[in-house]
Amino acid sequence: MRILVTGGAGYIGSHTCVELLEAGHEVIVADNLCNSRKESLEMVKRITGKDVLFYEVDVTEEQVVEKIFRSHRLDGVIHFAGLKAVGESLEKPLSYYYNNLVSTMILTKMSLKYDVNRFVFSSSATVYGDNTVPFKETMKLLPTTNPYGETKAMSERILMDTVKADQSFGVTLLRYFNPVGAHESGLIGEEPNGAPNNLMPFITQVASGRREKLSIFGNDYDTVDGTGVRDYIHVVDLAKGHVMAVEKLKPGVEIYNLGTGRGTSVLELVHTFMEVNELDVPYEIRERRQGDISSYYADASKARIELGWIAEKTIEDMVRDAWRFEKKQAEGK
Ligand code: NAD
Ligand code: UD1
């Protein structure tokens, strides 16, 4: 298949390009590089030995998007492009609503116009809000605490309503849990701009000495050791889930959780990182972070049964690969 990957130069997108190419598909990337670098696509080529056609474009611009659809007969779209920093979305809500919703609407419109019937959308476990765990695809969604989360819930609704009106269109909504780690080559991985918001990149930056110590946000939650529990998933497993989803896509809407189904606490993750990589990560316990929930993880059975997908990599693999990428970054690759 020939797949348009929006946001393909980014963290999850670049790993998905690798898996698509290795599965024999052709990849066209559309990315405006607002949170990534062109070099990641060079690395994708180095890993796979295959070429990627790259358009440096903003996918909220209808005319440039249409030009891509007109120039290539596409079989599917995987739509990763979007802004994703929760805190920033509270400061700049309009940018988030504009970027994340307009891009989804334009890509949907073009898919319908050019008869591209496979559309995979990057959603997030954040749409479950404060539901009881484990999160299941059939749950009624609850409000999220920030504009970023709302853009994911709204994009899901836009796509579902589009399918109701045009039943030949096929959409798969993938709800990611907490993607971490990097490709085992160490050539692509997560490169946050400025101070990382998420736990794993913060740990690797403390381990490399770029930051002094990790703050652990709260140790008084009702969890195994009082720290927050999440379902961390290796980004390569996540990327493989996209290949299976796009290959199996049929008309209609399907929703899949992509998680391991297992929860890991902050302290468990930090200690596993230190043991596996034989490194020290200084940390201190701080107050809870506003907006955090105590614990969440996936019911991952639907993706297993229907897509034949399971997350194969362990927490040990995640911390090892995250560290390998950080080290290579420091060495300049
Ligand atoms: P990322 O920032 O690394 O990748 C997003 C890419 O989209 C970047 O390369 C960026 O330059 C590009 N982009 C943004 N707006 C664009 C636009 N208007 N036009 C063209 N390109 C644009 O983020 P990621 O972690 O790879 O996330 C990919 C998707 O998955 C996002 O939609 C994100 O919301 C979603 N998601 C991510 C996580 C996570 O923890 N990383 C969790 C759940 C969902
Ligand atoms: C965050 C986002 C969520 C997004 C997800 C994946 C918030 C409120 N939610 O979720 O919308 O889909 O990232 O990108 O931001 N922690 C520390 N110290 C740190 C960083 C994190 O103790 O420096 C703790 C957190 O309190 C949490 C766990 O580590 O218990 C994981 O945090 P994080 O990586 O930010 O992910 P989420 O909070 O799950």
Atom of ligand 1 at shortest distance to CA of 81?
A: 7
Q: Is residue 209 part of a domain?
A: no
Query: What is the rounded end-to-end Cα distance, in angstroms, of the chain?
Result: 32
Ligand number nearest to the C-alpha of 103: 1
With respect to residue 204, please indicate whether it lies within any of the assigned structural domains. Answer: no
Could you identify the atom of ligand 2 that is nearest to the CA of residue 292?
8
Nearest to 187 by CA among 59, 31, 312, 49: 49
Q: Number of structural domains, the chain?
A: 1
Q: Catalytic residue numbers?
A: 148
* Phi–psi pair at 31, nearest 5 degrees: -150, 140
Range of the domain at 27: 2-180+232-259+297-312
- Is 109 within the bounds of a domain? yes
SS3 330: helix
Q: What is the pLDDT along the chain (333 residues), one digit of tens a residue?
A: 999 999 999 999 999 999 999 999 999 999 999 999 999 999 999 999 999 999 999 999 999 999 999 999 999 999 999 999 998 999 999 999 999 999 999 999 999 999 999 999 999 999 999 999 999 999 999 988 899 999 999 999 999 999 999 999 999 999 999 999 999 999 999 988 788 989 999 999 999 999 999 999 999 999 999 999 999 999 999 999 999 999 999 999 999 999 999 999 999 999 999 999 999 999 999 999 988 999 999 999 999 999 999 999 999 999 999 999 999 988 875
Asked if the structure places residue 194 within a domain, the reply is no
* 226 within a domain of the structure (yes/no): no
Measuring from atom 20 of ligand 2, which residue has the nearest CA? 199
Residue type (1 letter), 227: T
Instruction: Give a yes or no: residue 189 inside a domain.
Output: no
Q: CA 176, CA 50: separation in Å to the nearest integer?
A: 27
Overall pTM > 0.95: yes
Q: Which two tokens stand for residue 168?
A: 């030949």
Residue 77 placed within a domain: yes
Q: Which CATH number does the domain housing residue 245 bear? A: 3.40.50.720
Please report whether residue 267 resides in a domain. no
- Give me the sign of the Cα torsion angle 140, 150, 88, 178: positive
Structural contact between residues 147 and 90, judged by C-beta atoms closer than 8 angstroms: yes
Residues with Cβ < 8 Å from 252, sequence gap 6 or more?
A: 163, 167, 170, 171
253 within ligand 1 shell (Cβ under 6 A): no
